[in-house]
Structure 1
Amino acid sequence: MDTAVLPSHVRLLGPFRLECAAGAVRVTPSGQRLLAYLGLQHTASRTVLAGTLWPDVTEEHARGSLRTTLWRLNRGRRSVVEARGDTLALSGGVQVDVHAFNRTALQLVNVPETFGEELPLDLFSCGDLLPGWGEEWVMFERERLHQLKMHAIESLSTLLAGRGRHALALEAALTCVRMEPLRESAHRAVVAVHLAEGNVVEAYRHYEAFRRLICDKLGVEPSERFRSMLPTCRYG
């Protein structure tokens, strides 16, 4: 690898990618897992990394594999991983897409009013964390990010509806419904947009479709919070 190649981005949402200005950089499977772990956890000791990434071999073998992986990652290019004593971390100039996602999603959930005209509509197309990876540390983070994404898109739907952008607000709410068909808060977001736009019949129709769905699937009724959105309904 040419020494001018300076890896600058680790992409973990969707298939793994290590990128530089010239494009994608080829990384071995063990290198991908090392960069992914550090990208998610920020820092880790050599002992933790070796035991987590090579759990089925001896400690000596695992540490040897870690040394080899680090050498392959850093040879012929600026260091992607840096050591701080026994602790390893991604180099300071390397950005991770998960971190940017976290900041944006949490801002949408906690302080949506701080967004100006430019809203983070790219959340719609944001992929799942490392699809196909079955490691426990990946699956835990995947579920956490999935739930955060759901809350963020629901907040985005509310924000868009409040600004009169009903078509996009409805698309955001329906995106959540497609992701989790039994999630009541997603269906409440759909009904809220219909009501904000004055489409009362559409709101009733969607509520009734959801009521039938969870009655058939779970044997339960929508919550009182959902029912109270349509106070003139006569259900149940």
Structure 2
Amino acid sequence: MSEGECPVTLASPARVTLLDGFALRLGDDTQHPVRDLPRAIQRLVAHLSLSRCPHRNAVAGALWPDVPEDHAHGSLRSALWRLRRVAPGMVEVSGDSLCLRAGVRVDVRELETWASRILDPRVRGGDIAMPGKALRGELLPGWHEEWVLLERERLRQLRMHALEALAGELIVAGRFGEAVEAAYAAVHEEPLRESAHRVVVRAHLAEGNVAEARHAYESFRQVLADTLGVAPTPSMTGLLTELRPRVGDVGSMPTFGLLRKAPEAAQRSS
């Protein structure tokens, strides 16, 4: 907190941002984060945001793993005291557990709520949509603590599975543009993830865009060969099997095959 700033009680809104970087926003003006927040306080708030209500020992051990236990607990007490000066009442103590006060908004928890809704088989059709841009960022980029790395990968996997499931449901609902957007968002998370590319191909085929489906397949096949030296699985190649022309059956040839042969036929006739 900068010199001259007054602490803000949590009777007003509070929001913790962990995706695309740490920020703590207090008071009615939640657009502007608290400035010059010490790293120890950032780590404490981030850990409580991700761990919900951990035991004091777990917090001290995770945040200060390389010092003796009594020093770690001393550092935790100091960080809690400094956080209370900035945001009185933000952390509640229940026995030996530490929790963020109810009502503190955390973007990671909002992402988890969105993913849980998408993955719920009871939710369908018009009740589903892409997450907001604020929920698409990486967890605490540049932080390398073990507890951050584990949570970062967990959230990445959760978001990818939810995006793929969302794309599938949007295909069923006939919302093909949104389905393609969700599918490519999953591809962006992991460019070598075949299940994400499969849903891209499925979305194009469902909309009747055979050429785009084939292009998406060929692009993935080439990247996979160049990067890993492997071919797509039968689950992927099977999506395009029915599009391959049968020998001697011109009527079965897909549109993109006819378009490629048209210029050759025109040259022969001239």
Structure 1 letter corresponding to 2:186: C
Moved more, 169-178 or 106-115: 106-115
Map of 1:232 onto structure 2: 242
SS of the residue 2:54 aligns to: strand
On the 8 A contact 1:123/1:153 being kept in 2, the answer is no
Q: Which runs of 5+ in 2 are unaligned?
A: 245-270
CA distance in 1, matches of 2:8, 2:192: 50
CA distance in 2, matches of 1:216, 1:112: 41
Structure 2 letter corresponding to 1:41: S
Map of 1:184 onto structure 2: 194
The size of the alignment, in residue pairs, is 235
User: Structure 1 residue 11 and structure 2 residue 20: aligned?
Assistant: no
Map of 1:158 onto structure 2: 168
CA distance in 1, matches of 2:29, 2:133: 26
On the 8 A contact 2:55/2:98 being kept in 1, the answer is yes
Map of 1:22 onto structure 2: 29
On the 8 A contact 1:5/1:22 being kept in 2, the answer is no
Q: Which runs of 5+ in 1 are unaligned?
A: none
Q: With CA pairs under 8 Å and 6+ residues apart, which has the higher RCO, 1 or 2?
A: 1
TM-score normalised per structure 1:
0.89
Q: Which entry has the higher C-alpha Rg, 1 or 2? A: 2
Structure 1 letter corresponding to 2:235: R
On the 8 A contact 1:112/1:155 being kept in 2, the answer is no
Q: 1:209 aligns with which of 200, 219, 233?
A: 219
Closer/same/farther in 2, CA of residues 217 and 120 from structure 1, 3 Å limit = closer
On the 8 A contact 2:16/2:104 being kept in 1, the answer is yes
SS of the residue 1:57 aligns to: coil
CA distance in 2, matches of 1:226, 1:124: 32
On the 8 A contact 1:123/1:149 being kept in 2, the answer is no
TM-score normalised per structure 2:
0.79
* CA-CA distance at 1:156 after TM superposition: 1.9
Structure 1 letter corresponding to 2:117: Q
SS of the residue 2:126 aligns to: coil
On the 8 A contact 2:168/2:179 being kept in 1, the answer is yes
CA RMSD of aligned residues (A): 2.3
* CA-CA distance at 1:228 after TM superposition: 1.6
Q: Equivalences for 1:8-157 in 2 at 5 Å?
A: 8-20=14-26, 21-23=28-30, 24-26=33-35, 27-75=37-85, 77-111=87-121, 113-114=123-124, 116-117=126-127, 119-122=129-132, 126-157=136-167
User: Structure 1 residue 169 and structure 2 residue 176: aligned?
Assistant: no
SS of the residue 2:225 aligns to: helix
CA distance in 2, matches of 1:152, 1:200: 25
Map of 2:6 onto structure 1: 2
Query: Kindly, what percent of the aligned residue pairs are identical?
Result: 47
